[in-house]
Structure 1
Amino acid sequence: MVHPVDVIVGKRIRLRRSALSISQTELAERLGLTFQQIQKYERGSNRVSCSRLVELSKALDVPIVYFFEDTGSDEGRLFDQLDLRIIPEVRRLVSAFQKIENTQERRLAIALMESMVTGSDR
């Protein structure tokens, strides 16, 4: 049975790896593993040992606490609900949003996205 904490740790591994634009293969090579093992960690189907977590924190340049930070905050809940399959799209969206310099245009972009979500809930 997959434990929820293993899933959260796995999501955080994948999110950080993706943020650094590191492939599963590259991360695996840094750790002396196969990319399949990285996949299993990221899915939460294999637990990450303490010693491996130390290695991952070094390879991903984050403190160990990064993998366990409080998920009680709004940001933490959003993070843990993130569908990791859409990370490339999220990255494109954030990149485009950052290029909008006008504050009013940013507000309009947010309103458009919110109206699309509200419209789909009907």
Structure 2
Amino acid sequence: MGKILSSKEIGEKIRVLRKHAGMSQERLAEMVGVSFQQIQKYENGSTMLNTDKLQRVASALKVSASAFFEEYTFERPPLSDREKKLIKGFRSLEDEDIQEGLVKLVVRAGEK
């Protein structure tokens, strides 16, 4: 039987996985159906997650619930053809203002 993890240890994994996903506490909270303050409490270990919430957090972060209990490696899948086109097009832009505008647009779209 494996080690029993504390709420603090699970919270730290949530924080790491959330940051790796490039997600804010506010966005994760919205996806899980709790306040961002509740996400803060999960991450600092002051509040325990029940199994339903743990599964919702895992789903929002696109990991299995077991990721909170095991060593997790951050392997990224290869880029899709669409992602490669986006990067190639972005790099071909010479105007940094246009690049910055596109970054803001993509980030905003990803938050909705």
TM-score range, shorter chain: 0.5 to 0.7
**1:40 positional shift:** 0.1
1:62 corresponds to:
63
**What are the superposed Cα offsets for residues 18-74 of structure 1, whole Å, 9 maximum, x if unpaired?**
00110000000111111000000000000010111111110011111110116xxxx
**1:4 positional shift:** 5.7
2:19 corresponds to:
18
Moved over 4 A (4+): none
What is the TM-score when the length of structure 1 is the normalising length?
A: 0.53
Task: State how many pairs are aligned.
Answer: 70
Structure with the largest fraction of helix = 1
Kindly, what percent of the aligned residue pairs are identical? 39
**Unpaired segments ≥5 residues, structure 1:** 76-122
What is the TM-score when the length of structure 2 is the normalising length?
A: 0.58
Show the 5 A alignment for 1:93-104: none
Show the 5 A alignment for 1:1-122: 5-69=6-70
**1:7 positional shift:** 0.7
User: Does the CA contact (< 8 Å) of 2:5 and 2:69 recur in 1?
Assistant: no
